[in-house]
Structure 1
């Protein structure tokens, strides 16, 4: 099997190449940019599979994928990345990629994935593709101290100041001050309104 790996990070590229080569039946060539990869394909002929780093020079996101697919005569072209999101991976597959390989995958999985794609199958790691990005923290959350968020949590459960004070081992008057501060920071009319605002913002 003839494989071309194009990645501008020497260590990553050479590590992947060495691992594939160690399997004996895989012959690997490397390139440091999309332009170099296309030149190699034109000079050597189509490879059984081409692996392109999503972020390397010349790729311009997925534009380079289309160029490589056309250049490689219809044979498989996959995307490799250490930063791309599941959404980008989905876009790559929709654009004709033979697969998506996260750089975090194990060496054995990498070899299996390469063989899978070379056989004409589509490869995408299920766990990676199913992952969802962390929800961005609402700006209001950063305005509140840890103690204020604890008081707000108590308010959201319908607790009185006295109960919250007992839970947090504080004086009731201190809780009253926190409630006033919360109302001011959240532009709330009262404690109930503060809870409504916080719930709508999604941080309680």
Structure 2
């Protein structure tokens, strides 16, 4: 089976080639940038599977993915990445990519993923696709507050009363009152309405 692996990291290319060639039935072609990958597809393709690194030189994200899919049609093209999040993966799959392969995958899982895509299936690791979104704690206001205070503040921004926030979070109403007082002090807010205004103006919610 002819497989093209395009990645600008030599170590990644060599590792993938080593694991796949060990299987005995793969004919590997490797490239270090998107331009070379496109030329390889035009000159040697279509490949049974093309694996493209999402952030290698010349790669224009999903636009290059679409171009590669057109060049290699009707055979599959997949993305791999060590940095792209599941939103990119979802967009790639929706656009028709054969799969999304995180570079953090164990070697055996990688070989399984390649075979899965070669069989005509669409692949994405369940654990990666269902992982909760990482909270953006970069905002200086968010960094001042505890996770629970952020939940209470979100309730304030939604116009909820203390009793409603307490019910939603499974807390006593008096506990919510204490959180409101504390987050108000941390935000420099005059009252709960002012706290919600500060949060909204800062784009926290």
The alignment's TM-score, normalised by the length of structure 2, stands at 0.73
The reply on whether 1:142 has 2:143 as its aligned counterpart is: yes
Instruction: Provide, for residues 129-180 of structure 1, a one-character-per-residue CA deviation record: whole Å limited to 9, x for no partner.
Output: 11122122353243479xxxxxxxxx962789xxxxxxxxxxxxxxxxxx89
Instruction: Give unpaired runs (5+ residues) of structure 1.
Output: 146-154, 161-178
For 2:49 and 2:21, how far apart are their aligned partners in 1? 14
Deviation at 1:57, TM superposition (A): 1.4
Matches within 5 A, 1:165-176: none
1:197 corresponds to 2:199: no
Give the secondary-structure state (helix, strand or coil) at the position aligned to 1:116: helix
2:188 to 169, 177, 186: 186
Q: Secondary structure at the match of 2:101?
A: strand
Distance 1:102 1:51 in 2: 11
Does the Cα contact within 8 Å between 2:6 and 2:13 map onto a contact in 1? yes
Query: Partners in 2 of 1:180 and 1:69 — Cα distance?
Result: 54
1:140–1:186 CA contact under 8 A, matched in 2: no
CA contact (8 A) 2:187 2:195 kept: no
Structure 2 unmatched ranges of 5 or more? 147-172
Q: 1:114 to 1:139 in 2, by over 3 A?
A: same
Deviation at 1:107, TM superposition (A): 0.6
Larger radius of gyration: 1
Query: Separation in 2 of the partners of 1:122 and 1:12?
Result: 22
* Contact 2:47/2:72, CA 8 A, preserved across alignment: yes
Aligned residues: 177
Deviation at residue 52 of structure 1 after TM alignment? 0.2
Distance 1:159-1:94 versus aligned 2 partners, 3 A rule: closer
Aligned to 2:85: 85
Counterpart-to-counterpart distance in 1, 2:177 and 2:52:
57
Offset at residue 24 of structure 1 (A):
0.7
State yes or no: 1:48 paired with 2:48: yes
1:71-90 deviations in Å (ceiling 9; x for gaps): 11310001000001111000
Confirm or deny: 8 A CA contact 1:52 1:80 kept in the other structure. yes
SS at match of 1:157: helix
Structure 1 residue runs of 4 or more that deviate by more than 4 Å after TM superposition: 179-182
RMSD of aligned C-alpha atoms? 3.4
